[in-house]
Amino acid sequence: MMTQENINKNSFGMIGLGTMGSNLLQNIADHGYSCAGYDNNTQTVENLNNLNNKNIHGFSDLKEFTDSLKSPKIVMMLVPAGEIVDSVIDDLLGVLDKGDIIIDGGNSHFTDTERRFIELEGKGFHFVGMGVSGGEEGARRGPSMMPGGDQEAYEIIKPILEKIAAQVDGEPTVAFMGERSAGHFVKMVHNGIEYAIMQLLSESYEIMKKGLQMENDEIHKVYKKWNEGQLKSYLVEITTDIFAYKNEGEEHLLLESIRDQAKAKGTGKWTSQAAMDLHLPTPIIDISVSMRDLSSLKDLRVEASKKYPDSVNMVYEKNNEEYCDELEEAFYFAMVSAYAQGMHLLYQANEEFDYDLNLDLIAKIWRGGCIIRSEFLEDIYAAYNSEPKLKHLLLNAEVAKNVTKTIPSMRTVVSDATLHGISTPAFSAALSYFDNFRNEHMPTNLIQAQRDYFGSHTYELKAKEGVFHTKWVMENIKE
């Protein structure tokens, strides 16, 4: 209901006017909402006001900023994760009223979001932890958003979020994820999958460049072809573009000038840590994080390359076109594994944290706007939509049928890479995970025996209930 007090006031407030915050505000303004932006950097406020958008108003004073908002006041933060989020919240509590809504749209760790939700709920404020994916362009034209926490607050902000989100088949790529820290947990897993797919793409590049000795324009054509078929996705699309981009006046690709040291902001590591805490394997994500760390050790790698020169033939004796078709199949296999491991982590987190997640809904909103959007997400959505209690994506009949077709190519690609000294840790992790996932009898009975031998950690038997310990004395050891 519009009260006299709310007339001519702004519907939405944004704290943090960097590229993401500014772009999101412009997106909101484009959809007819009057909004306010605050930053303690006066230049960014001036830049916002210089847009000359009648629906956007920049402020350098926090009290003036919040006073410009309708009640209940909606304030979203897009600031770096960590202590600065707590600092901004503390400042806001002095200028907001009970019942107002605070949204953290940054990449906060889900445990911090859990704590903040409980603290703010106790003080009478609504708190929403919301993952936002799509980068700068997504923020401006339509991101995928993963809000969680306070559902009452979500219903208030829902009309705005649904307007500014990307649209797929006429539906917005935003939905309420679940209780408390659910939104940021889902976004964290999204980023873990993103790490994995980016690593797989870098390894496919290594195979084509080093193993098949392909020129950049040939590699560009391969990725372009992939993006027109079953691998169609945002990350393959931008990789295609990267293999065609040259700075003005230069003959070589910009890619050739970029150092091979990948940085990270921590969300991939958080995904691996969360998975390990839940005793759930996500090896393709884990190795992708490790490879970024290894890439940063440039000096060590240069030194090692001199001590251990290539001792095998690095060039494949293969037909490039035919082999790239096999590589495409292998990439599909590994990509499915990355998504499957991420979705399994969400399934397990739902059991552990009682988030009330809907995996089909998560796949649905990932189909557009976000970094990991892909054609395959339609299959994931269909799988969980038809089987809401599906424990693991690889158990879905349609997914299993498609994966089975690609197994021979996957084995060929991984074995050839190993034989020729080309590192494919993510492809290899995907294959090893699969081979043990389908293994009814893993060799871990030996590990249990070893643990009991040296540490009396006990073991269980196949045909007898209970927990057992053996004194592994020499007289019982038969050689």
pLDDT score of 2 = 45
pLDDT score of 178 = 96
pTM: 0.94
User: Which residues are CB-neighbours of 244 under 8 A, at least 6 positions away?
Assistant: 220, 253
Measure the CA–CA gap between 107 and 354, rounded to whole angstroms: 21
Give pLDDT tens digits for 251-285. 999 999 999 999 888 899 999 999 999 999 999 99
User: Which residues are CB-neighbours of 426 under 8 A, at least 6 positions away?
Assistant: 196, 199, 200, 203, 284, 287, 288, 291, 334
Q: Tell which wins on pLDDT, 4 or 38.
A: 38
Residues catalogued as catalytic: 187, 194
* pLDDT above 80: residue 478: no
Q: Tell which wins on pLDDT, 473 or 203.
A: 203
Tell me the average pLDDT of the chain. 95
SS in 3 state form for the chain? Answer: CCCHHHCCCECEEEECCCHHHHHHHHHHHHCCCCEEEECCCHHHHHHHHCCCCCCEEEECCHHHHHHCECCCCEEEECCCCCHHHHHHHHHHHCCCCCCCEEEECCCCCHHHHHHHHHHHHHCCCEEEEEEEECHHHHHHHCCEEEEEECHHHHHHHHHHHHHHCCEECCEECECCCCECCHHHHHHHHHHHHHHHHHHHHHHHHHHHHHHCCCCHHHHHHHHHHHCCCCCCEHHHHHHHHHCCCCCCCCCCCHHHHCCCCCCCCCHHHHHHHHHHHCCCCCHHHHHHHHHHHHHCCHHHHHHHHHHCCCCCCCCCCCCHHHHHHHHHHHHHHHHHHHHHHHHHHHHHHHHHHCCCCCHHHHHHHCCCCCCCCECHHHHHHHHHHHCCCCCCHHHCHHHHHHHHHHHHHHHHHHHHHHHCCCCCHHHHHHHHHHHHHCCCCCCHHHHHHHHHHHHCCCECCCCCCCCECCCCCHHHCCC
pLDDT score of 1 = 39
Give pLDDT tens digits for 237-251. 999 999 999 999 999
Torsion of CA 161, 163, 166, 172, to 10 degrees: 80
User: Residues 190-206: what's their mean pLDDT?
Assistant: 98
Give pLDDT tens digits for 29-51. 999 999 999 999 999 999 999 99
Task: Tell me whether strands 144-149 and 126-133 are parallel, antiparallel or unpaired.
Answer: antiparallel
pLDDT score of 381 = 97
The CA angle 257-258-261, to the nearest 5 degrees, is 145
* pLDDT above 90: residue 473: no
Q: Tell which wins on pLDDT, 263 or 63.
A: 63
Cβ–Cβ contacts within 10 Å for residue 25, how many?
30
Give pLDDT tens digits for 215-224. 999 999 999 9
pLDDT score of 238 = 97
pLDDT score of 457 = 96
Tokens of 405: 């077709």
Measure the CA–CA gap between 10 and 317, rounded to whole angstroms: 65
pLDDT score of 6 = 62
**What are φ and ψ of residue 23, in 5° steps?**
-65, -40
Count Cβ atoms within 10 A of the Cβ of residue 398 and give its class: 0-12 exposed, 13-18 middle, 19 or more buried: exposed
Give pLDDT tens digits for 5-19. 566 799 999 999 999
User: Residues 117-135: what's their mean pLDDT?
Assistant: 96
Give pLDDT tens digits for 280-332. 999 999 999 999 999 999 999 999 999 998 877 778 888 899 999 999 999 99
User: Residues 339-345: what's their mean pLDDT?
Assistant: 98
* pLDDT above 80: residue 22: yes
Tokens of 13: 């407030």
Measure the CA–CA gap between 94 and 76, rounded to whole angstroms: 16
pLDDT score of 281 = 97
pLDDT score of 310 = 83
pLDDT score of 7 = 63
User: Residues 421-440: what's their mean pLDDT?
Assistant: 97
Measure the CA–CA gap between 146 and 176, rounded to whole angstroms: 7
Q: Above pLDDT 90, what percent of the chain? A: 93
